[in-house]
Amino acid sequence: MTALFDPTAYPSTSVEWIKKLIAYDTTSRESNLELIHDVQAYLQQQGLETVLTHDASGRKANLFATIPAADGTRTGGIVLSGHTDVVPVDGQNWSSDPFKAEVRDDRLYGRGTCDMKGFVGVTLQLVPEMLATRLAKPIHLAYSYDEEVGCVGAPVMIDDLVRRGVQPEGCVVGEPTSMRTIVAHKGINAYRCRVHGHAAHSSLTPKGVNAIEHAARIITAIRDLADDYKSMGPYDHDFDVPFTTLQTSMIRGGIALNTVPDLCEFEFEYRNLPGVDPEPILQEIREFIDLKVLPAMRREHPDAVVELEKLASAPGLNPEEQAAITKLVRELTRDDTVRKVAYGTEAGLFQQAGIPSIICGPGNIEQAHRPDEYVELAQVEQCEQFLRALIRSQAVTA
């Protein structure tokens, strides 16, 4: 795929920017480098320095750029953060090409319009206005990879910021919130469990170790733990789902009806309230495996093994109502309602690095990841107004 736009000429509206970003298939399993390199070229044409941080394979990159303050300062200031990857469209029934955004009925349809190339497109559209403003403090642009598979890219970028001493004073993560302020979200922890049994002919079941059956016991224990959190808490009723949740989402095992399966693997996740330590949850699952499941398996065969592999984790976001960024976003959006959400974002990672963060962006989260994903054009315009007000708030006043 060739570059979709000439970096020496930027689109005249945010909608055109969003359309161009949508045309890059940056599904998390794919590389995002074409998008990143073309956006980098555009920003460099605007006279900005950019920093790329890559994944281990070199196929993906984060991009960080700074619009410096009027006096040249590049540290402090506010980060505008968005991810460049999107979820797959496999098996979904779309009314139009998901990677060719189109406007219908005052909505912009396409994969990522809502989550979250809409916000990224608006920030790129407003770069010339940021440059034209005499800023008292810098504004930073942070575009990450692999948020959709567990916030994998952002930690690489944040570690680089820490090493370079950039230390922003606040961060706005533009996930879809219908342009309302979100002050907290849950943590997310994802694991793969591999249960290794012992194969045998199904007529000789006592000579085998049925990996699927023992995996089922672990899965049931995870569900029991989920039921405990649902019935006993702790609770935070400011959240849309006010308790910690657990679920098993994928499972694979077995090769034939007449064979005792020697392998079963499944993925599970849990989403903890910000005040709930995620480690004891994992420890309880490990203890069930070590004290209940493994001894039973090894009575059947001594070589039985259960493995747990961490796939991804990202911390929850705690409310920071007294933080300057929270007060600023609440003032600009005229929104004082306390909202907390079950989905995860990169905001918790910025907060963990000492950068107070809040979530506010165009689109409704209910449209994310679905076929015919869309963002309302009114939301895009509202985001433009919000970010223009934010830029003005950072201008030199005297």
Query: What DSSP character marks residue 149?
Result: T
Q: Kindly state the helix (H) or strand (E) to which residue 300 belongs, with its residue range.
A: helix 294-300
Contact 114, 368 (CB under 8 A): yes
Task: Record the tokens describing residue 96, joined without a space.
Answer: 């139009």
- 147 as an active site residue: the answer is yes
Contact 315, 349 (CB under 8 A): yes
Nearest-angstrom CA–CA distance, 142 and 103: 27
H or E, element range at 224: helix 211-232
Of 25, 38, 115, 147, the catalytic one is 147
3-state SS, residue 247: strand
Question: Residue 352: in which H helix or E strand, if any?
Answer: helix 347-352
In 145-290, which ranges are E strands?
Answer: 170-173, 184-185, 187-196, 200-201, 245-253, 259-260, 263-272
Cβ-contact 102, 364 below 8 angstroms: no
CA-CA distance, 375 to 106, in Å (whole number)? 9
Return d(Cα 53, Cα 309) in angstroms, integer.
25
Which tokens belong to 109? 């349809």
CA nearest 383: which of 183, 182, 184, 176?
A: 176
Phi, then psi, of 315 in degrees rounded to 5: -70, 155
Q: Are 148 and 82 in contact (CB under 8 A)?
A: no
Question: What is the rounded CA–CA span in Å between residue 166 and residue 169?
Answer: 9
- Beta 107-109 vs 102-104: how paired, if at all? antiparallel
Q: How many other CB atoms sit within 10 Å of the CB of residue 37?
A: 15
The residue to which tokens 């005229």 are assigned? 334
| Of 38, 85, 115, 146, catalytic | 85
Positions annotated as catalytic residues are 85, 147
